[in-house]
Amino acid sequence: MANWQLPRHPAAPNLKGPVVICVMDGVGVGVEDESNAVWLARKPNLDWLAANAPTTQLAAHGVAVGMPSDADMGNSEVGHNALGAGRVFDQGAKLVQNAVDTGALFESVAWQTSAHQVRQSGQPLHFIGLLSDGNVHSNIGHLEAMIARADVDGVQSVRLHVLMDGRDVHETSGLNYIDRIETLLTRMRDKGRDYCIASGGGRMKVTMDRYEAEWSMVELGWKTHVLGEGRGFSSAREAIQAFRDEQPGIGDQNLPAFVVTGSDGKPVGPIRDGAAVILFNFRGDRAIELTQAFEQETFTKFDRGARPDVVFSGMMQYDGDLQLPSRFLVPPPAIDFTLGEYLAKNGVTQLAISETQKFGHVTYFWNGNRSGKFDDKSETYVEVPSDTLPFEERPWMKAVEITDRTLAELATGKYAHARLNYANGDMVGHTGHRDAAVLAVEAVDLQIGRLMRFIDKAGGALIVTADHGNADEMYEHAKKGNALVRDAAGKLKVKTSHTLNPVPLHIYAPSLPQLRLDPAVSSPGLSNIAATTLQLLGFDAPDGFRPSLVGS
């Protein structure tokens, strides 16, 4: 039986107020140039913290958060996993790549069942997912490996339903991935296979909603991928080029839905009874809703029509508590003994709050990919509904409302610990609008000032950090050196993806003027925050947690 008892820290501080973690989503530490919306922003509170509070930088990408290599960007999922777990676990991209390399993926019951189903029925094996090598939600290399194995396993027909990225990769790089996958599909057709792209659309318009913010996106995806309804084109390349011609400047993430049709004008890949469907995204937040649509008997979010009788599998199980999906190719990381569970087991009252876009990050991901609370009595989760309008038009998002509710809850004196996420730097950063991202950072800074004033009066501590970078690099830099990249017309190339930059850490505890960071902690990362939080709460961290950043 696990020992959940947390011992008192030998040098426990005597804080009267709560320990609050503020995650500035997508606010990293980048090159100080015109690409850096964080540097350009007027942010007196963050500047004051950097100059006066214990401050350092944390690794938030690559192996520090469980990704395969330091060439891999961090993301909100792995960042919040690391923040809440206090340790580093191999994450989706690495787990799937290992399963592909060892062949374990193809030995899974889900793969074997899918291949058997379509060999018997004669229906296609359908793949749905994000087509890029961003390695945040998916990787085109995994798809290529599955297509090649489908051929080896005697699968005659394959259909791809491709969601275009432009968010974790360059905003208009989609045709590169289309051409790459079409090369493989052509090779398969030359061997006599019936393999082709059937439908697609931009990830922020079709299918990949999260946290039930816009079920209409999933409904559109269902009509496009499953029913084969929508504007038809002879190929995915033709569709994307047409959309770009009609809407100059459109990024891949915002492309409309499209359906590929054959010479008879009919869609080439509606999903019918007897088929098998694999959702090849490994990250769960934008995969759960489509999974629900395929798997749940009782479903009321939209009219599915006659749900096809298929074998459905996910790349991973996206929600272990809800058992979604029931079939999956690669087991997810087993993240246990999280900060939130330790606090719940020790009766420490907790508040978790964010707007819809990041609510699951301070709950589900923070708790090790676990839905629900550990203890209803000691935990309060608050979701502030997000706007559905473009984020660049409202870069302040719900930062004020989050702060209002946080301060109201903390004023009750009920909570010893709180965690909140301001989504602005990430969600506005992904739009590619630098000036809007500057305003987003400024909006967050204003709210941090409000939190600081409360902490000062309450005698608590405020940990300010981020889960990864984004707004800190709104234009592309050259791979060597820091020169900004320009296109043939001399225009700066917009960057909409996360960055490889570290993130800031500030600890504001005015009632502890002696507080210092521990210089003995080398290469600090996001996973050090859990032990740091426990020490400020007066507890020694459990065995296995990465050390606290606060000196004893």
Output DSSP code: residue 12.
Answer: -
CB 434 within 8 A of CB 474: yes
Q: Measure the CA–CA gap between 442 and 464, rounded to whole angstroms.
A: 15
Return the ∠ at Cα 387 (arms to 386 and 391), rounded to 5°.
110
User: Which DSSP helix (H) or strand (E) runs through 271?
Assistant: none
Average model confidence (pLDDT) for the chain? Answer: 95
Tokens 């592909």 sit on residue: 100
Which residue matches tokens 């011609």? 245
pLDDT reported for residue 352: 98
d(C-alpha 191, C-alpha 260), whole Å: 22
Among 67, 62, 126, which Cα is nearest to 97's?
Answer: 67
- Provide the pLDDT confidence category of residue 332 given band limits of 50, 70 and 90: confident
99-123 tens-digit pLDDT: 999 999 999 999 999 999 999 999 9
Tokens of residue 11, six digits: 């040098």
Q: Which pair of tokens denotes residue 81? A: 């996993």
Helix 174-190 and helix 140-152: axis angle, to 10°? 10
pLDDT above 90 as % of the chain: 88
Q: What is the mean pLDDT of residues 199-225?
A: 95
* pLDDT value of position 1: 67
Kindly report the CA angle at 142 between 136 and 145, in degrees rounded to 5?
Answer: 170
Alpha helices for 153-235 (secondary structure H): 174-190, 215-221
pLDDT of amino acid 320: 62
Hey, what are 420's tokens? Answer: 């909140």
Taking each helix axis from N to C end, the angle separating 76-85 and 529-537, rounded to the nearest 10 degrees, works out to 40
Rounded to 5 degrees, φ, ψ at 112 are -60, -40
> How much is the average pLDDT of 470-496?
90
The residue type found at 399 is A
Stated pTM of the model: 0.78
151, pLDDT greater than 70: yes
Structural domains in the chain, CATH included, are 26-91+335-537 (3.40.720.10), 93-330 (3.40.1450.10)
Can you read off the two tokens belonging to residue 480? 């060597």
Query: Could you please report the per-residue DSSP string of 98-117?
Result: HHHHHSHHHHSHHHHHHHHH
Handedness of CA 324, 311, 165, 254 (dihedral sign): negative
Q: What residue type is 522 in one-letter code?
A: S
d(CA 258, CA 347): 52
Q: What is the pLDDT of residues 387-439, one digit of tens each?
A: 989 999 999 999 999 999 999 999 999 999 999 999 999 999 999 999 999 99
Q: What is the mean pLDDT of residues 280-307?
A: 94
Over residues 257-263, mean pLDDT: 98
Q: What is the dihedral of CA 545, 343, 53, 427, to 10 degrees?
A: 90
Q: Quick one: CA dihedral 28, 30, 32, 33, positive or negative?
A: negative
Is 313 tagged catalytic? no
* CB contact burial 505-527 (16+ within 10 A = b; e otherwise): bbbbbbbbeebebbeebeebbbb
Q: Are 34 and 476 in contact (CB under 8 A)?
A: no
- Residues 76-90 have a mean pLDDT of 94
Per the residue annotation, which of 35, 69, 76, 497 is the catalytic one?
Answer: 76
